Amino acid sequence: MKNTTISICNEVIQAGEKANLALKLPDLYSCAPLYMPIKIIHGKNAGPCLLVFSTINGGELNGLEIVNRLVKNIEAKDICGTLIAVPVLNVYGLTHYPKELPSGNKLNDCFPGELDGNYGERIAHTFTHELIKKADYCIELQTGALNHNILPQVYCNFNNLMSKELAKNFQAPVITNVKITGNKLRQTTENLNIPLIVYQAGEAMRFDENAINLGVEGTQNIMRHIDMLPKAPVIDFNPVFSEDEDWITAHTGGVLHANVELGQVIAKGDKVGTISDPFSSDLEENIKATQDGIVVGINTTPFIHEGLSIFKIASFIDYDKAETAIESWEEHQENN
């Protein structure tokens, strides 16, 4: 069936057209207007609408690159349906990083937004009504925080079976359950009955080529799964499901020496690192794992202050199955 036209931000996109739009954002005091870039690939044939977006916090450079490479590699003749891609949702956050909004709060907390609200709420309102409500599926691209390197993984609500199925097809090594409460963006998509998954990998303000490649391939895999691209999804391994993740925090300040790597399987009580006094080699504190699991996050900064998060550990019901899944994924990465 032939695709119909689609209207986004008062622009009409024809079937078979690839377009770049610039959505005007709320005015700042500086008389220097900001615009949100929106890339549209509107296939000739009818199909679902997928919304892919990044940089909601301002520092997710991996996600920005994933979106741009994805759009560059796909033409309108290649897909059924519509791909809406937003490389930078929070333009203010990118240009003023690490400050995310003029008010100092997080854009994620502003959803679903208000037409006459504050700066963040106005952006969220426009994004919800102009883009999210047009989508059948959503993929958000994230990274870890600054100096927090994250193993590639997908977050979704396990109670949403469609989201869980999308997450499996993304082919990241770990899929982690998330709660709807406390995340207003996720609550918004759930209320609209739009499946949402979040791909997170790498760290803020850094490019990670492996994380970028996996993000591009994972998004294309989902497009195959929902019949936007031809052929079946590429399934090279079975990801492992995690019910919970916890950060280990530093009990003292000093120089961090990590003894583990991302993806490493550890047991409760294992020594995962040390924190030493930078002025005395005699003072050193061992950091031990608080649970069985897999290392999915590491603080990469050498200087640690007391109370800072340093290692993120994902826990699993079936420990042996998790170890096998990670080994399978690592082998696949090495082969590629």
Query: Tens-digit pLDDT profile for the chain (336 aa)?
Result: 889 999 998 899 999 999 999 999 988 877 778 999 999 999 999 999 999 999 999 999 999 999 999 999 999 999 999 999 999 999 999 999 999 999 888 999 999 999 999 999 999 999 999 999 999 999 999 999 999 999 999 999 999 999 999 999 999 999 999 988 888 999 999 999 999 999 999 999 999 999 999 999 999 999 999 999 998 898 888 898 998 889 999 999 999 999 999 999 899 999 999 999 888 767 789 999 998 899 999 999 989 999 999 999 998 867 777 777 777 777 777 777
**Beta partners for residue 303, in sequence order:** 255
pLDDT of res. 281? 66
Whether domain 6-233 has CATH 3.40.630.10: the reply is yes
Give whole-number Cα distances, 17 to 4, 43, 47, in Å.
Answer: 11, 7, 15
Determine the Cα–Cα distance for residues 17 and 5; give it in Å rounded to an integer. 9
pLDDT of res. 18? 95
Entry field: residues in the chain: 336
Any residues with CB less than 8 A from the CB of 135 and at least 6 apart, and which? Answer: 49, 50, 51, 84, 194
Crossing angle of helices 161-170 and 209-225, rounded to 10°:
130
Element containing residue 80 per DSSP (H, E)? strand 80-86
Q: Where do the CATH 3.40.630.10 domains begin and end in the chain?
A: 6-233
pLDDT of res. 104? 86
pLDDT of res. 170? 97
Q: Which CATH architecture has domain 244-335?
A: Beta Barrel (2.40)
Determine the Cα–Cα distance for residues 88 and 25; give it in Å rounded to an integer. 12
**Beta partners for residue 246, in sequence order:** 313
Determine the Cα–Cα distance for residues 171 and 181; give it in Å rounded to an integer. 26
Q: Where do the CATH 2.40.50.100 domains begin and end in the chain?
A: 244-335
Q: Are 156 and 197 in contact (CB under 8 A)?
A: yes
